[in-house]
Structure 1
Amino acid sequence: MYRIAIAALLGAISLTACAQQASPTAAAPAPQVAEGPVEQTVRDALKQLDPNFSPDYIGAAPFPGFREVIVSGQVLYVTDDGRYLMQSQPYDIQKKAMATSAGLLQYRRGLLATLPHADRIVFAPPNAKYTISVFTDIECGYCRKLHQDIAELNRNGIAVEYLAFPRMGLGSKDYTDMISVWCASDRKAALTAAKSGQPVSPKTCTNPVAMQYNLGQQLGINGTPAIFAADGSQLGGYLPPAQLKAALERIDAAGGGR
Structure 2
Amino acid sequence: MKRTLLVAALGALSLSACAKSPEPAAADVVPPTGATPATLAARPAAGTADARAVDAIKQLNPRIEVESVGAAPLPGFREAIVGGQVVYVSDDGRYLFLPGPGGALIDGKTDRNLTEVALAGMRTRLLATIPDGERIVFSPPNPVHTVTVFTDVECGYCRKLHSEIDQYLAQGIAIEYLAFPRMGIGSEDFDKMVSVWCADDRKQALTDAKATGKVKDRDCNNTVTMQYNIGQRVGLTGTPMILAEDGTQLGGYVPAKALRETLDKMAAEKTTADGATASAGGA
TM-score (norm 2): 0.58
Shift of 1:96: 7.4
Is 1:155 paired with 2:170?
A: yes
Amino acid at match of 1:171: G
Q: Deviations over 1:69-99 (max 9, x none)?
A: xxxxxxxx9x9xxxx9922235677877855
Q: Which has the larger radius of gyration?
A: 2
Give the Cα–Cα distance (whole angstroms) in 1 for the partners of residues 171 and 113 of structure 2: 24
Stretches of structure 1 lacking an aligned partner (at least 5 in a row): 1-16, 19-64, 67-76
Q: CA RMSD in A?
A: 2.8
Distance 1:94 1:118, change over 3 A: farther
Report if aligned partners of 2:146, 2:244 keep a CA contact under 8 Å in 1. Answer: yes
Give the Cα–Cα distance (whole angstroms) in 2 for the partners of residues 143 and 190 of structure 1: 15
Is 1:239 paired with 2:239?
A: no
Who is 1:11 aligned against? none
Distance 1:148 1:85, change over 3 A: closer
Structure 1 stretches of at least 4 aligned residues deviating more than 6 Å after TM superposition: 91-97
Shift of 1:255: 1.0
The count of residues paired between Structure 1 and Structure 2 equals 179
Q: Deviations over 1:151-208 (max 9, x none)?
A: 1111111000000000000000000010000000000000000000152110000011
Give the Cα–Cα distance (whole angstroms) in 2 for the partners of residues 148 and 131 of structure 1: 18
Q: How does 1:74-223 map to 2 (within 5 A)?
A: 86-87=99-100, 88-89=103-104, 100-223=115-238
Residue aligned with 2:237, SS: coil
Amino acid at match of 1:169: G
Distance 1:93 1:162, change over 3 A: farther
Moved more, 98-107 or 189-198: 98-107
Give the Cα–Cα distance (whole angstroms) in 2 for the partners of residues 101 and 204 of structure 1: 37
Shift of 1:100: 4.1
Amino acid at match of 1:89: A
Who is 1:252 aligned against? 267
Stretches of structure 2 lacking an aligned partner (at least 5 in a row): 1-18, 21-75, 78-87, 91-96, 272-283
Is 1:228 paired with 2:243?
A: yes
Residue aligned with 1:196, SS: helix
Shift of 1:127: 1.3
Report if aligned partners of 2:137, 2:203 keep a CA contact under 8 Å in 1. Answer: yes
